[in-house]
Structure 1
Amino acid sequence: MNDMPSTASSGKTVLVTGGAGYIGSHAVLALRDAGRKVAVFDNLVTGFRFAVPDDVPFFEGDIADDELVTRILAEHDVGAIMHFAGSVVVPESVENPLKYYDNNTGRTRALLASAVRGGVPHFIFSSTAATYGVPETSPVTEQTPQQPINPYGWSKLFTERMLADVVAAHPMNYCALRYFNVAGADPEGRTGQSTKGATHLIKVAVEAALGKRESVGVYGTDYDTPDGTGVRDYIHVSDLAAAHVHALDALEAQPGRSLTMNCGYGRGFSVLEVLDAVDRVTGGRIERVMEPRRAGDPAALVSDPALIRSTLPWQPQHDDLDRIVAHALQWERRLGEIQDASS
């Protein structure tokens, strides 16, 4: 059973930017399942049209296109924006920082300007634990110093700062949700992680399990962790999407309050534990290739989810590593069928 938020909707539309992408498409499903009206805006650079249900209004375009955004806000009576559009690959952000400051910060500024002019009262932002950089302690709370170590993290942190300034000056509130490691796929097989060349460990591992990759690289085996490999907090994408709908309920209930919260389970798994889980679920054995550490990778990055659990009526339904892997594997098989049918 899904964790279904209440439908305290005003009847207005929620505009989901990046709604044809991985997390955005799950948020669209969660909103629809909660009885919300939804419209999707996506440039389809990394998103997929098949990820958007046929009965959801879809607009292809750039979030910095003020004329188009303004028209959509007015014609669809938009009462909230869930903003997922952006670039998310950390190594690419180091190689091409201006792309990230443009896509993630500059274009969000343009979207916010359109939202302010259009009188949109609620804004939910897809932020990241990368804003913490390499924290000195784990688990990480919302008060942990934010010291990003790459342009991706900085681009998201700048947007958090911008949101705080905008709502101080205009009749709007916001929620910034700092994601930890998002994984899995819709349990009903309606959408999942479809990006080619994705770098998420569980996505990479299930590709390897299905023969789409020869092996999985394990970057660093000498960390101060139980088995020497990096430890991360993996959250099922459907639980994350449900958190967004609860966050919107909270913004509507208290228009004068804005929120910033970690999104994780508060429990970490090492790289080897994740690969072992994939082996358990598939009954196979993934080839592991031990590699040196990558610069800037913390030994452990685990959330303290106390704030989100005390603020929202959020009850995760998929807090189980093997279940996360099973859903990711189910989607990976389905994605192969979709790709075969379209070729």
Structure 2
Amino acid sequence: MNADNIESVEVIRGIPSVEYGDLYSGAIIVQTKARKEPLQLKARFNPTVTQFWGGKGFDLGTDAGSLYVDLDYTKSNDKETNKYQNYTRTTGTVQYTNRFGVKKNWRSNSTLAFTYARDLYDMDPDMAYDQTKNDAKERYIRFTTNGVVDFDKKFSRTFKYNASINYGMQIGYQQTYYDADVTAESYAITNGTNEVSYLPSSYLSRMWVEGNPLNTAVKVSNQFYFLTGKVNHSILTGLDWLMDANYGDGKTFTRPPRNTNGSAYRTRAFSDIPAMHQLGGYVQDHLSTDLGTNKLNIIAGLRYDLVQPFDSSYDLQSISSRINAAFRMENGLTIFN
């Protein structure tokens, strides 16, 4: 993340708002935007890390918005004396920001990003007695869009939306050479007594792990304000939906890892596991008022969550409340919880 593209930073102390259903402690929320920036090139070198980065922002003209692109390459070695254990990552982003509407009351920001990463533990030719090798590759593509629409209506001052989709392709490879006593090899998928074969005392085991995770998220919220006496109310309502799934084949073997605890491994593809869906809705009131020369702030909210709403045999429901209060005295001392 380029610091020049940061639009806002929100620091949440204590218990987060009901808007963030998966957080139970403080958080830092960073919003970015695209804008015109001169070409920047950066490089970093030290004994174990090599990094190159470049980025530039473009002004596309009146009413056309701004575009920002950047590319980063990083390679890190585990040790200065070992080139066979390293981590490589390449990332790139394209970010577009614009305002729409006659009054320019719709602010939109969209980002397309990709990531390629490889974590390699290769064999050292001088120490290849066990032929151990681990190679994990990941490719991700992510699209996010968020925006704010200022309706400036009595019950809809500000409408916000946020949507994202993230798809990955993960391939892991592990191999090791086993040299020990003869052990049984079991592929049973049901309980009971089974006839099994025996593994040789020495063999090379290879394993592949394939994952294709898909993560999507959508959130909309509406905010409006009103006054009761001397108390200001800021009402926030919203809905969100999360979906997490994996369409990969999971683990496949040439020969399984050596059985050391008496239990067999039962194969199950990641794609056989149902996707996880989570629906949530929330309402919150931020009250603020002056008590003489002191100031009192109370944030109270209620959240409803429904897990697996499309499968009644697995659905779970919960209602949770969250409250934060802060009392600021005239001398600047603040008490909060």
TM-score, normalised by the number of residues in structure 1:
0.26
Between Structure 1 and Structure 2, which shows a larger proportion of strand residues?
2
Higher percent of residues as helix: 1
Larger Cα-atom Rg: 2
TM-score, length-scaled by structure 2: 0.27
Which structure has more relative contact order (CA 8 Å, sep 6+)? It is 1
